[in-house]
Amino acid sequence: MQGTIATFDAGDRSGTLLLDDGTELAFDGPAFDASGLRKLRLGQRVDVQRDPAGIVRQVRIPGIV
């Protein structure tokens, strides 16, 4: 699933994103760390990997494995 970064706190590496259906979804530092990225910018498109409970486990740039 994909969304757009709405907020990002570089200090604790957490933030929120808006899914394409408008749902807001929070992610924490470990989900960002799993991406291998160094930073995110507001409005950036990301792929979202969630576990069966719906918790975000990874955010990453689309097309980058």
Residue with tokens 């394409």: 20
- For residues 36 and 53, give the distance between their C-alpha atoms in angstroms, rounded to a whole number: 23
What would the pLDDT profile of 1-36 be if each residue is shown by its tens digit? 899 999 999 999 999 999 999 999 999 999 999 888
Answer for the pair 18, 24: CB distance below 8 angstroms, yes or no. Answer: yes
What pLDDT is recorded for position 61?
85
What pLDDT is recorded for position 35?
85
What pLDDT is recorded for position 39?
86
CATH class of 2-60: mainly beta
Query: Which residues have a Cβ under 8 Å from the Cβ of 37 and sit 6 or more positions away?
Result: 59, 60, 61
